[in-house]
Amino acid sequence: MNTYKNFTVRTDADGIALVTWDMPGKSMNVFTEEVMDELNAIVDATVADTAVKGVVITSGKSTFSGGADLSMIKSMFTLYQQEKAANPQTAAQKLFDLVGRMTGLFRKLETCGKPWVSAINGTCMGGALEMSLACHGRVASNAKSVKIALPEVKVGIFPGAGGTQRVARLADAQSALQMMTTGQSLSASRAKAMNLVHQVVEPDQLIPAAKQMIKDGLKPVAPWDEKGFKAPGGGIWTPASAQLWPAAPAILRRETAGNYPGALAILKCVYEGLQVPFDTALKIEQRYFTQVLQTTEAFSMIRSLFISMQELGKGARRPAGVPKTDLKKVGVVGAGFMGASIAYVTAAAGIDVILIDRDMDAANKGKATGEGLVKESIGKGRLTQEEGVAILSRITPSADYADLKDANLVIEAVFEDREVKKDVIEAVEEVLSEGAIFASNTSTLPITGLAKNSKRPENFIGIHFFSPVEKMMLTEVILGKETGDNTLAVALDYVAAIKKTPIVVNDTRGFFVNRCVLRYMAESYDMLIEGVPPAMIENAAKMAGMPVGPLALNDEVAIDLSLKILKATVADLGEKAIDPRHMELVSRMVEKEGRFGRKNSKGFYDYPAKPAKKSLWPELKSFYPQKKAEGVDVNTLKQRFLVTIALEAARTVEEGIVTDPREADVGSILGFGFAPYTGGALSYIDGMGAKKFVELCETLAASYGLHFKPTSLLNDMAAKDETFYGRFDPYAKEKEVA
């Protein structure tokens, strides 16, 4: 038996070496420089050992591997930036060599002359799947936990260690493109249907089945290394391909508006790679991967959607030195749709929940919402019947506040009204144990003001969920002026337990996400008033990279809620705080036309009975004189949407609401889908440079209003050529320690 730090190698009596990947101190196996060095040594050792007839590689953990490690991805960008500054001529070549390392290792494994089988026992993604595809055989467990994917496109890159070439030579081109350009996860059976996996077996049969493949005489040669190999479907020059390839870029453009260089590179890699020998194809892939890694989009997306998201999820903002809270029981007050959904995600995380409302009927109705969510998840195969029953058994409906006495945390999710919330805070605090935390799920009311109703403002915090709670990955944790470190730590421990990503923001009206969302919708009001055709407004927003147009989003949020917010803003801040034309438009929609949004099936869109699709309300065009479409510059519309949101994000930093640029970026993408290819609202500014952004703001302000004027912080950053990640460095403390 040979032992490495990250692998164990045991050779059995049949001469089959079982390589078990089990990294010490990590919950999941990932590729690091050290792992690649050891794997390289294992390939050499097993080739040299005449007793070894074949190799099975598997994981000693509950999952196989998530792919490349954060630190490795980070170091790639750091090395490139340093090299570019020192030797711009050789920087791209150095990066090319660096990205070829994994490709070369997997090709070495594939051509080593001894058969390798990958035994996949759980999540197998990214580089780990690319390694498995280089093995000569693949066996997967039929456990529900098995997810097979190449998700790189979601973080701005693409499968660059042979993935584009091997998938396109195992599956038909259309399925290969679909899998890689969406980053979708496959079940073991779907992977088998696509020819990416040879066998699917019961979990306890995984290693025996993998060894059996070798005993049965598995050839140590990949299909594409055999003479006369033809790709499934016949390759590029066939009638079927003549239909696929002209359409593929058009479909991709429809889905991505050309915003994602990584997605387009997948098409190029597959199209060009299938026309040349395999080793040449790997070089083509390596060239495109090097090119994509140098784009602003790849840098920004990897930073926000891969690195920052994991750092925030692992508690980057959690106060140091506070012991972890093991939440045993959580109370939720308010069993409406929001409260019931919060109770559901809490119970799904294995925590007991007391769901309180004014009477048992209302509380039971809240539990019924949970039952509906369980039923839906069982129907989609996400939960088993037993798991669903277990979740519901953890939710106890009640009308008695005394049932909250032993809860570690109570979340209030009642009507958005200061008086109603005041009554709840007082009633809960009557029974709450001494160290317990009170959290408000308010979406707009400042936490410091609500905490004035509390006898223990240091134990009072905001945890703002987004609807639908079970699908939205983000939560905003809002600090009141007196919120203590222990309270923040408990709130972040809770958010981690329910597997959501937190951003921590200081107190303000609308916090971070809603302030930005309201700007997005307000810009669409301006465009309507200017006479921009509604369809152009929606399409320009999507072309800018937003997942839904602002009018569709407003319908989801509810137009009558927009009216309430406008009225509340006037009541609190005076008439000048809003644009009177916006009030006129929204009042007309709600009070005159009775159009509240999706909830009453009529808003900016009409919502006919299914299966018919929603469509823009034709009468909307009669509200204002319409401009001719050809007279409207789509590029300017796109800029207006992104700039108005990014400006609001910059204001929250200037006001000290957001103190960590990672949170503004991750919050803007997860909260309302701000163009992910930019890396988020602040990365959008950093990506183009503060100077250029300020010039763009000045241009837009001259034509479309003073809300586009750059702030003093941005002017200062432009003058000093600073970035948000430079000026507000989230790693500054770590660097001081180092």
How many alpha carbons fall within 13 Å on the CB side of residue 344? 27
Residue 454 CA to residue 104 CA, distance in Å, equals 62
Q: What's the pLDDT at 708?
A: 97
Comparing 686 with 733, the larger pLDDT belongs to 686
| CA dist., res. 679 & res. 665, Å (int) | 6
- Amino acid at the residue 508: T
Show the tokens assigned to 317.
């903002």
Q: Are strands 124-125 and 148-149 parallel, antiparallel or unpaired?
A: parallel
In angstroms, what is the C-alpha Rg of the chain?
Answer: 28
SS3 assignment, position 310 = helix
Structure tokens at 573: 């801040």
Please tell me whether the peptide bond between 223 and the residue prior to it is cis, using omega within 30 degrees of 0: no
- Provide the whole-model pTM: 0.91
Q: What is the mean pLDDT of residues 681-694?
A: 97
pLDDT score of 734 = 64
* pLDDT tens-digit series, residues 170-181: 999 999 999 999
Render pLDDT for 228-251 as a digit per residue (tens, 0 to 9). 899 998 888 888 888 999 999 999
Upstream peptide bond of 323 is cis (omega within 30 degrees of 0): no
Backbone angle region of 689, left / alpha / beta, with phi > 0 → left and psi within -120 to 50 → alpha: left
Alpha-carbon distance of 432 to 201, in angstroms, equals: 51
Q: Has residue 508 got a pLDDT over 70?
A: yes
Spatial neighbors of 71 by CB under 8 A, at least 6 apart, are 32
Instruction: Identify the CA nearest to 150 among candidates 114, 173, 181, 120.
Output: 181
* Average confidence (pLDDT) over 627-649: 96
Residue 1 pLDDT > 70, yes or no?
no
Of 573, 571, 561, which Cα lies nearest the Cα of 521?
561
| Region 631-660 average pLDDT | 96
Instruction: Categorize the per-residue pLDDT at 736 as very low, low, confident or very high, splitting at 50, 70 and 90.
Output: low
Domain ranges of the chain: 2-294, 329-508, 514-727
For the record, the structure tokens of 371 come out as: 């039952």
Cα(540)–Cα(637) distance, rounded to whole angstroms?
6
Residues 212, 218: Cα–Cα separation, whole Å: 9
Confidence of residue 395 (pLDDT cuts 50, 70, 90): very high
pLDDT at 735: 61
**What pLDDT sits at residue 2?**
67
Average pLDDT of 297-314? 91
Task: List the Cα angle 210/213/218 in 5-degree steps.
Answer: 135
Which among 515, 503, 540 is positioned nearest to 629, based on CA atoms?
A: 540
**β-strand partners of 48:** none
Q: Check pLDDT > 50 for residue 199.
A: yes
pLDDT at residue 713 greater than cutoff 90: yes
Mean pLDDT of the chain: 93
Looking at domain 2-294, its CATH architecture is: Alpha-Beta Complex (3.90)
- CA-nearest of 164, 191, 137 to 265 is 164
Q: Could you name the CATH architecture of 514-727?
A: Orthogonal Bundle (1.10)
pLDDT at position 346: 96
Share of the chain above pLDDT 70, in %: 99
**pLDDT, position 181:** 95
pLDDT band at 439 (very low <50, low <70, confident <90, very high): very high
For residue 493, pLDDT beyond 70: yes
SS3 549: coil
Report pLDDT digits (tens) over 526-575: 999 999 999 999 999 999 999 999 999 999 989 998 998 899 889 888 98
Give the residue numbers annotated as catalytic, written as ranges: 464
Q: Return the pLDDT at 208.
A: 97
Over residues 135-187, the pLDDT tens digits come to 999 999 999 889 999 999 998 999 999 999 999 999 999 999 999 999 999 99
Res. 71 pLDDT band, cuts 50 70 90: confident
> Cis ω on the peptide bond leading into residue 611 (within 30° of 0)?
yes
Residue 737: its pLDDT value, please?
46
pLDDT digits (tens, 9 = 90+) for 370-381: 999 999 999 888
Q: What percent of the chain is helix, strand and coil (3-state, nearest 5)?
A: 55, 10, 30
Class of the domain covering 329-508: alpha beta
Mean pLDDT on 310-329: 91
Location of structure tokens 């109570």:
410
Both structure tokens of 7: 């692998």
